Amino acid sequence: MADGADLGPLLARVPEALRGSSAYHVPKPAQIIAKLDANELPYALPPELRERLGAALSEVPLERYPDPNATRLRAILAAQLGVAGGQLVFGNGSDELIALLVNAFAGPVLYPVPTFVYYRLAGIARGVPLVEVPLRADFTLDEAAVEAAITSSRPATVFLALPNNPTGTLWRTGFALELAARHRDTVIVSDEAYHAYAGVSNLPHLAEHPNLVVMRTLSKVGLAGLRVGFTISSPAIAHVLEKVRPPYNVSALDQRAAEIALEHGAAWSAARAAEVVAERARLAAGLAAAGAEVFPSEANLVLARFSAAPAVYARLMAAGIAVRAFGESGPLAGCLRVTVGTPAETDALLRALAT
């Protein structure tokens, strides 16, 4: 629908920045052979875990609101991470936590581009200035440019996706810590959505940096359908985020399922993530052999630039292989983002590329 169509006089009530942006939309092939467009884990939970979940979820009292404090989930996660329960804030996916951060620390939002799109959307929704710092052409981070932009625009929040989506690039993790030390009046977010694949984290340094927030999600380790993300921060930051968090944002089913997955599925998901890391190398090599320029990735995705991306994308869609395309202009021109799937899915993709 065209922007503003049918809104009539309400259009004037929609902020200028929102009128020009579009809702999240992912095109789907008619029949999906391989879903490689959303950076999900390609493996379903093992049968014994599903049985355990089925039994436990049938006991959840759905006539009651969820526990607004996620007490049990909090205790399990705090013990696993070695942090205090009061350092955790839960979100309906980390998407919601991004919005909570932007709402709580209202002020300019800074992030490198291209990066995860929701930083921008959350800033637009809150009506705060957006400070976008271009990555270099090879998607490495221009640290001096970030530093200069922080000094000149004094953002309230800086988002660094470590590693980055959609490029897969892992920037120097310690840079977030240096920024946190230099800019105590800025919240520095170390978005570690792909932690399972990169294996690096700023979590061990949290205690030294009261303005550092580490953000994680269960989405990339086999539980994207749940919508459970969390931040780990100083209790003081957690306290502020709690003020803007909708009290029942994580459903009772999500809480219970996350508890069980964390308690009984951690070894399974670590083993599957290791398989994905091995498969990533094969996928990257296959894309390069198909003539693409492949960018190094530490996430469960590979970004590849093709000389005729629209034709390649059309061929993949026709073959039932869903990947993300980014159009023919801007820094991601000609790029396709391919989530690392199962070996059979990689085979199907490489076969379709070869036709």
Ligand X SMILES: Cc1ncc(COP(=O)(O)O)c(C=O)c1O
If residue 203 lies in a helix (H) or strand (E), which one and from where to where?
none
Cis geometry, peptide bond prior to residue 166 (ω within 30 degrees of 0): yes
Q: Does 300 bind ligand X (CB under 6 A)?
A: no
Least Å distance between CB 118 and ligand X? Answer: 6
Q: Which stretch binds ligand X (CB under 6 A): 12-20, 40-48, 87-95, 287-295?
A: 87-95
Using rule CB under 6 A, residue 222 touches ligand X:
no
Q: Residue 41, interface with ligand X (CB under 6 A)?
A: no
Min CB(61)–ligand X separation in Å: 26
Contact 280, 272 (CB under 8 A): no
Least distance from C-beta 157 to ligand X, angstroms?
14
Q: Which of 110, 161, 261, 283 binds ligand X (CB under 6 A)?
A: 161
Listed in sequence order, the DSSP H helices in 105-221 are: 118-126, 143-153, 174-182, 195-198
- What is the distance between the alpha carbons of residues 112 and 120, in angstroms, rounded to a whole number? 10
254 counts as binding ligand X under rule CB under 6 A = no
Strand 301-305 and strand 335-339: the pairing is: antiparallel
Rounded (5°) CA angle 3-125-4: 15
According to CB under 6 A, which one of 34, 36, 37, 39 is a site residue for ligand X? 39
Q: What SS3 state is found at 111?
A: strand
Q: Running DSSP on this structure, what letter comes out for residue 221? A: G
With CB under 6 A as the contact rule, the residue among 36, 149, 156, 191 that binds ligand X is 191
Instruction: Check binding of 40 to ligand X (CB under 6 A).
Output: no
Residue 93 near ligand X by CB under 6 A: yes
Please identify, using beta-carbon distances, which residue of 277 and 319 lies nearer to ligand X: 277
- Taking CB under 6 A as the rule, does residue 94 contact ligand X? yes
The CA distance from 302 to 294, in Å, is: 7
**Residues at the site binding ligand X, with contacts judged by CB under 6 A:** 39, 93-95, 116, 161, 165, 191, 193, 217, 219, 224, 229
